[in-house]
Structure 1
Amino acid sequence: MSDYRMDDRSAVVEPSKPRLLEILGPGLVTGASDDDPSGIATYSQAGAQFGYIASWTLIFTYPLMVAVQMISARIGRTTGRGLAGSMVRCYPRWVGVSITVPLLVANVINLGADLGAMGDAAHLLLNGNALIYVAAFGVICVLLQVLLKYKRYVAVLKWLSLALLSYIATLFVVHVDWLNFTRGLLLPTFKGDPNYWSMIVAIFGTTISPYLFFWQASEEAEDLKEKPREERLVKHPQEAKRANMRITLDTLIGMAASNIVALAIITTTAATLNSAGATNIESSVDAAKAIEPLAGSFAKIIFATGIIGTGLLAVPVLAGSGAYAVGEAARWKVGLSREPSEAKAFYATVGLATAVGMLLNFTPIAPMKALFWSAVINGIVAVPVMVILMLIATNRKVMKQFVIGAWLKVFGWLSCVAMFAAVIGMAVTAFF
């Protein structure tokens, strides 16, 4: 954020005009990390199996994910605490534990699958041993969080979000049926095929995921520690207008980037794989391999490169959000802005989560099967987390005069209903 023109907080201050790159922060990184290799696999499967007709979900979910992420960010900025930190101050400790522990388990499975996809993508591009690449990427992700100063680490995450552009680039090397694309995007399709509804549920679970709530709230709280002229809004309400405008813009752009990239992936695989009848896609790397004979080696290279870039962004976010959640629930000292010696348990959780996820790739456990159970856990955890999120955001004892307004309440509760419906859909399609 840009500096105030006067340092005396008691004086009337006028903020200088912020630059866009300074505004974009937790919202952009959160949105970019949503398109992790596991998410890429989901969107690739959607495009390969059903063509363009699943695209409408990305318009439908956009206002819902914007609302829930904006609420998460406002809780962090207003209270100076992450979501789990606010949760344990409002509810019994068992509530926080029952939510944060499953969240950490799901995150570990997810980041393990992401590391596996990154290793396979590196093998596709460079040959060599995929498991060695998995171990190398795991070590790099931990070192980024432990060794880099917070400001520099945030800058690295912002630059890594540019990896998403690779999926936009693929649209320029494939032939898109723009009429069917427009129809699929603007006209929701309802089919009796249970596999189709399983895919819709998977897209919902990928775009609206609990780890994103915890990450964005915690990073808003972290930013306050790095910006001495800013304080939590309950203590300095005069900062509210500017802070909420920044959060709104950051979240709108971050979530738009996430869904635009998801749309590009569905469109690319619909235009190539579905059109050629190649519908059996198990992972993001399978998609990259299958695209090559249809769209050329350039499409394969940028698709596989995107898997590595988004993985380097998503794996630290998955490990970090889990560590924030568990650490805040346990009332440890937490934060990437702290030195490792100040927050030993927090950094140990980051390292352990990444190590366990990495080691999953050395076991006989099938990554896609593990991801299914990760999605189940996330789906079960998401609904109570979102309900608690809404209750905190409308609680005047916590938020003071900054309880969320009418439109955020409407879309926030709609998000809860939509996610609950997705969980029911997931249960129905899994067992019937």
Structure 2
Amino acid sequence: MTLPRLAWLIGPALVAGVAYLDPGNVASNMTAGARYGYLLVWVVVVGNVMAWLIQYLSAKLGIVTGQSLPETLGRRIRNPWGRRAYWLQAELVAMATDIAEVIGGAVALYLLFGIPLVWGGAITGAVSIGLLLIQSRKGPRPFEFVVIGLLVVIAIGFSFGVLVAPPDPAGIAGGLVPRFEGTDSVLLAASILGATIMPHAIYAHSALARDRFAPRPAATWSLSDRAAPDATLAELRGISTRRLLRATKWDVTIAMLIAGTVNLCILLLAAANLAGVPGTDSLEGAYAALYAGLGPLVATLFAVGLLASGLASTSVGAYAGAEIMHGLLHIRVPLLARRLVTLVPALIILAIGFDPTVALVLSQVVLSFGIPFALVPLVALTAKREVLGGYRNRVWTTIAGVAASVFLITLNGLLLWLVLTGA
């Protein structure tokens, strides 16, 4: 496959990958680094490795079947009440995502321009509506270009400080050893994983891949025929489904390398420069400490990265939410209408004066509990011949998916037990 053709196929994973760099990630990683130094470096690394597998499986489902994960589940969950119950938890997860992203954008506008948080949230929502208009009127490719541009801004904004004040290599090496230090560190680990492996990114990626590589109307073919899908699914510009999947691996690899590196930089920046500094477990305090310790350029770039993060991720979140409702309830809600509805909870939180950083971290915990509901069906569906035919998961891929699911569910169960028992 030539480089220009490969470049043309890159994009859906980068857009979905923005969800891994939303303001909730920033709050969770900054808080973890400020409170515990390098302790939770291993959580970021493990989360990113699992994220690669999960996002690839999501994209594969969309490419091979021509359906998103919500659409597939909507057709397979026959009980209406079961389908509605599944939709409800997915909808709550999407709303938690929206809250984190709008609040993050509002905090960034406050840090940069002194705009009150409520107005900053409204502005963030308004700009995200403009981005969604691009997607709905111009199609997926222009939307990808805009979001990827914001991704570049995010990467520069959050990584520059690490270049100015490099972290301790020995501290990084020590942070790769898996361990916790009390209930709060487990809470933060769950928050980091909820921000790293986001349920709405799983739902969205399958839809983004479907929209970019939509299959032709399916001809009659047998699922027992390994070569059949290549003959009946979309062959864009003469590219077979098998080649699309190979290109998707590159797409996911690039997206996860960017997301993982930037997330690690956020935690390392806090660990190296904010650990033990009072008040730095909040975004505002972290900004002030960066301004005082590393200068206005680092602090300003950090705030600009936070703003780009809020704007880009809230658009992807609204896209995912609309897909969840359409796929599970068979109701198609316009993206703009959904954006207006899900903007309200975030504005209420800002209006009542609830601590924005606490709201961001808690929203990521909600996302962490939503992961199994997206991940378990994804692994199960992509392992079935009746769903993916010859493209179903290999045995080791399924084992890795099951291991990731068990790890995440166990961590969430441990977190719940620690919180309830006050341990």
- The verdict on a shared fold, with TM-score over 0.5 as the criterion, is yes
- Uncovered stretches (5+) of structure 1, i.e. residues with no partner: 1-14, 334-343
Counterpart check, 1:91 vs 2:77: yes
Worse-matched range after superposition: 163-172 or 176-185: 176-185
Worse-matched range after superposition: 320-329 or 126-135: 126-135
Alignment match, 1:255: 256
Amino acid at match of 2:160: A
Residue identity (%): 20
Aligned with 1:352 (options 329, 332, 341): 341
Aligned with 2:118 (options 118, 125, 131): 131
- Uncovered stretches (5+) of structure 2, i.e. residues with no partner: 220-228
Alignment match, 1:53: 39
Q: 1:280 to 1:414 in 2, by over 3 A?
A: farther
Alpha-carbon offset, residue 20 of structure 1: 5.4
Q: 1:213 to 1:373 in 2, by over 3 A?
A: same
Alpha-carbon offset, residue 42 of structure 1: 0.3
Q: 1:234 to 1:329 in 2, by over 3 A?
A: farther
1:32-431 equivalent positions in 2, closer than 5 A: 32-92=18-78, 93-147=80-134, 148-150=137-139, 151-163=141-153, 164-185=155-176, 188-225=177-214, 235-236=232-233, 239-274=240-275, 277-278=276-277, 280-333=279-332, 344-371=333-360, 374-431=363-420
Does the CA-based 8 Å contact 2:194-2:369 persist in structure 1?
no
CA deviation digits over 1:146-185, x for unaligned, max 9? 2451221121011111022222211122142222223323
Alpha-carbon offset, residue 412 of structure 1: 1.0
Does the CA-based 8 Å contact 2:27-2:283 persist in structure 1?
yes
Does the CA-based 8 Å contact 2:39-2:180 persist in structure 1?
no
Distance 1:326 1:140 in 2: 23
Does the CA-based 8 Å contact 1:198-1:429 persist in structure 2?
no
Distance 1:201 1:305 in 2: 26
Amino acid at match of 2:65: T
Alpha-carbon offset, residue 21 of structure 1: 4.0
Distance 1:245 1:79 in 2: 16
Aligned with 1:30 (options 11, 16, 21): 16
Distance 1:372 1:32 in 2: 18
Worse-matched range after superposition: 316-325 or 50-59: 50-59
Does the CA-based 8 Å contact 2:195-2:367 persist in structure 1?
no
Does the CA-based 8 Å contact 1:112-1:361 persist in structure 2?
no
Does the CA-based 8 Å contact 1:142-1:350 persist in structure 2?
yes
Alpha-carbon offset, residue 222 of structure 1: 1.0
Does the CA-based 8 Å contact 1:77-1:220 persist in structure 2?
yes
Amino acid at match of 2:329: A
Distance 2:338 2:282 in 1: 28
Q: 1:319 to 1:66 in 2, by over 3 A?
A: same
Alpha-carbon offset, residue 284 of structure 1: 2.9
Distance 2:7 2:183 in 1: 43
Distance 1:273 1:405 in 2: 44
Does the CA-based 8 Å contact 2:216-2:232 persist in structure 1?
no
TM-score, with structure 2 as normaliser:
0.87
Does the CA-based 8 Å contact 1:42-1:203 persist in structure 2?
yes
Q: 1:385 to 1:175 in 2, by over 3 A?
A: closer
Distance 1:129 1:33 in 2: 25
Distance 2:86 2:128 in 1: 25
Amino acid at match of 1:64: M
Alpha-carbon offset, residue 22 of structure 1: 2.6
Does the CA-based 8 Å contact 1:79-1:234 persist in structure 2?
no
Q: 1:332 to 1:67 in 2, by over 3 A?
A: same
